[in-house]
Structure formats: C-alpha cells, structure tokens
Amino acid sequence: MLHNYLQIKYPLIQGAMALISDATFAAHVSNAGTLGVIATTNMSVAEVKQAVDLCRSQTSLPFGVNVMLSQVNHKEIITALLALRPQVVILSAGNPKPYIQHFKKANIIVLVVTNSVTLAKHVAQKHADMIIMEGFEAGGHVGEMTTISLIPQVVDTIDNPTIAAGGIVDARTFKAALGLGAVGAQIGTRLIASQECPVHENYKQTLIKAKAHDTTIIGRTLGLPIRCYKNNFTHHMLNLEKQSINKKMWQSLTTAAYQRAIIDGDTDNGMMMMGQNVGLIHKIKPLHDIFKELTNHKE
C-alpha cells in the first residue's frame, strides 16, 4: 500500500538525517527502491533549491524533502518547496497544521512525523496523507513513548495510514511494526551503516560495534531530548545539565559536536545520534541489500 502510494519498490522511507541525508544520499536511497529524503537542517533557501535540483539530476524516482519546523527559516523553505514541487514533503519537529493544506493544494504528498497521539489526531483532521509515528527507540530527537505503544494507539485513533519509526533495523523489527498496524517504516540508524552514507567512517565503525546499552539521552532537563552514543561528549553534557546550562549554549555545543562526529569522525567528543537498536546492526552494507533484508524481499 505504502509502496504503491509513493511509487517505491519497498514500503520503507529513509528518515531525514540532518547534515547526512544530502541530495546524493537521498538519490541513492530512491534508486535503491525506497523513498530518499533530503534533510534541510541548517540550509538556506538557495541551498534547498540546489539540493532538490541535484537530487532530480541523480534520480528519476520519487524523493522527499524534510523540513524541521524548529528551523528558524522553515517558512521560507516551505514557500520554496511549494514552487519546487518535490513529490513528497515530510514535516517534523513542530506544529505542521498551518502548512498541510498548502502542500495538498500543490499536489505534493505531505507526511508528518510526530511522537504524540494527540498531534497525530489533529494532523489527521487536516488531511495529512500519512503520519509517521516515531518512538523513543529512535536516534536523534525523541519523545517518551515507545514505538510499540505509539503505533497501535494511533492506528486505533485515526484512519490515515501510519508509518512506524524508531528501532526498525532488521526483518524482525520491520515485521513487528507491520504487526502493530503500520503500513511501512521510516528508518534512520540502520542506514548510517550503509556503504553509500556520507558520514565519517569512524561514525559507522562505532555504530556497528555499539551494544544494546550504548546509547543515552541528553537534554531531557532542557526539553530537548536527543538520543546518541554514550561517550565523553554525552558525559560532559549531562554534567552541564546539572549546572543549569541555558538552551542557546546547549544548542551551539550540540551543533558543533554533531559536525565533529560527522565530518571529523571524532567519536569521543562528537555527538553521534543513533537509535537504541544499534546492538542489532553488525555490518556496513549496500543500501539495496539492507532494504531487501528488512522486507524479506525475494528477487
């Protein structure tokens, strides 16, 4: 159902990953049979236009663009996307209600990511095409409810198709998501350990060696919870939280540390966002193999 709707081979969506899922990565994902998604975090409107053009030049298949509504320039990016018309737009990290109808009128499929059953209900009333429910297991910014709690409670509440995110890394976890009533899955962490992913090799190696208890959540006391790999950086940040660090300082430290991890491969002092099911990921593989394995697809 999801694959027919989005015209993709496998019922999977690549989770947007700030500074990682660029135009080329999103095109690789789409070419491998699922929906590639460009993350626009920290991009100017001109950079978003360039990224959409580049992705179009690298794939003839559908792809999506993510807008985090916490971004200061999200309104300008939304205006640009209405003109650029990617096939799919994915709104996250804020209140999407004012924007859904604009995308619908422009014939752009609009998906919303949330971890709130209440917001899912409101968004459904505004006719978002599908809702992506992201559980506590996920890498990156998280809520408090797990995927196993969120999916069935949303499926029982709204009629819109629901996509599961958070903790889906292999055939078992994917099957579990379908069993809970989801029509497909959005995956992030598993794709960091793909050959095509443009993060520093050290990030990938740390991820495939990580075990069940190796992630932690920083920023809870500031209302900015982020799940990432436990290291010197998270230890330092948890200490700063005890000393009442302010949000602005927090954000500048996390932004710098994220770049240190992705670009410099600093696994001690960098922020490596990854989800709780890292302990199930042991190998770096080509995207196509990952998608086939997850969905148990036989050629």
Ligand X SMILES: Cc1cc2nc3c(=O)[nH]c(=O)nc-3n(C[C@H](O)[C@H](O)[C@H](O)COP(=O)(O)O)c2cc1C
Torsion of CA 187, 189, 195, 197, to 10 degrees: 90
Q: Residue 4: which of 153, 130, 188, 168 has the closest Cα?
A: 130
In angstroms, rounded to a whole number, what is the distance separating the alpha carbons of residues 166 and 145?
Answer: 10
* C-alpha to C-alpha distances, 104 to 35, 125, 248, nearest whole angstrom: 19, 13, 35
Residues 52-91 that bind ligand X (CB under 6 A): 66, 68
Q: Which of residues 267-286 bind ligand X (CB under 6 A)?
A: 273-275, 277
| 196 makes contact with ligand X (CB under 6 A) | no
- Select the residue interacting with ligand X from 26, 78, 187, 237 (CB under 6 A): 187
Taking the complex as a whole, the smallest distance from the CB of residue 60 to ligand X amounts, in Å, to 24
Report d(CA 169, CA 186) in Å as an integer: 10
Exactly one of 30, 59, 160, 186 binds ligand X (CB under 6 A); that residue is 186
Token pair, residue 233, equals 């950086």
Q: How many residues bind ligand X (CB under 6 A)?
A: 30
Q: Which two tokens stand for residue 87?
A: 């096939």
| Sole window of 74-82, 130-138, 155-163, 234-242 interacting with ligand X (rule: CB under 6 A) | 130-138
As measured in angstroms, the least distance from the Cβ of 212 to ligand X is: 13
- 24 forms part of the interface with ligand X (CB under 6 A): no
Q: Of 19 and 106, which has the nearer Cβ to ligand X? A: 19
Residue with Cβ nearer ligand X (12 or 124): 12
Q: Among residues 11, 36, 64, 140, which is the contact residue for ligand X, using CB under 6 A?
A: 140
Rg value, the chain, Cα: 18
11 binds ligand X (CB under 6 A): no
89: amino acid identity, one letter:
V
